[in-house]
Amino acid sequence: MSGLASTAIRLNSGALIPQVGLGVWQSPAGATTREAVLTALGLGYRHVDTARAYSNEADVGAAVRSSGVPREQIFVTTKLWNADQGYDQALRAFDASLARLGLEYVDLYLLHWPVAGKRLDSWRALERLHDEKRARSIGVSNFLVAHLKELLPSAKHVPAVNQIELSPFLQRADTVALCLEHGIVVEAYSPLTHGQRLGHPAVVEVARSIGRSVAQVLLRWGLQHGFVILPKSTKPARIAENGGLFDFALDDAAMRRLDALEEGLVTGWDPATQP
């Protein structure tokens, strides 16, 4: 995993975010998550992406605290769950997340989903948490163009990131362009298509031609587009594979081939359905 720790992007908060983060959605609570995070940190990952809804914040926090890696070198993200949206509820939910994590601050706190009627109040709560320096950066997730255009005019702080599903098969070009225009860093979730396109012939062919795995090709595509990428695995060999992205590059022809795979593949929630 040569060079992993050195690739980072500057956020509008001034903080640096490592471009590869370990995702832990569906990583079972308990030893499985603790070991996955410890394995990743041991390999050089310095970024973990959890959420209240993943029910494993306590394990992520325990692994971060016991890893021997200084806290300030690890970028920890968690997210406000939908049932906790609203100004006061969000402040309480943040305190509870921090307590489960056993940390004094998080590096990034995200609105997990643009809950209609509540997302603007929730954002004001995140702005307060940021001003109090308990959330070093704040951002949104699953915000498409309409959601961002609603939020931006009233926001005191522009979101530092927007975490959305992204892969060659779902590129959200209009949302990505709007984020770039406003200096919002784009995070790609489910960058491995949640496992659904790992046998796609075009990606398999690109992978074979450069002697890399399909997963590495999909992840490298995201890196070369400037996204933060959040691959999830609980298997040590795959965690290593997914971080081994800095000793090769995709050439223009390979990038064009992958760019041509857009098919609007949504493997999880589709925020386009959220008014």
Residues binding ligand NAP (CB under 6 A) = 23-26, 49, 112, 141-142, 163, 189-195, 198, 213, 215, 230-235, 238, 241-242, 268
CA distance 80 to 199: 34
Q: Which of 45, 54, 109, 189 is catalytic?
A: 54
| Helix spans in 82-200 (H) | 87-101, 119-131, 145-151, 173-181
Q: Report residue 174 as tokens.
A: 């209009």
The dihedral over CA atoms of 230, 231, 235, 240, expressed in degrees to the nearest 10, equals: -90
Scan for tokens 């509008």, then name that residue.
12
Q: Report residue 64 as tokens.
A: 């971060």
Residue 192 buriedness (CB in 10 A; 0-12 / 13-18 / 19+): buried
Distances (CA, A) of 33 to 49, 50, 248, 267: 12, 10, 29, 22
For residue 133, what are the contacts with CB-CB under 8 A and spacing of at least 6? 105
Shortest Cβ 262–ligand NAP spacing (Å): 17
Which residue's C-beta sits nearest to ligand NAP?
A: 23
Other Cβ atoms closer than 10 A to 131: 12
Shortest Cβ 208–ligand NAP spacing (Å): 15
Distances (CA, A) of 59 to 133, 263, 267: 23, 36, 26
What type of residue sits at position 225? H
54 annotated active-site: yes
Catalytic residue positions, numbered: 54
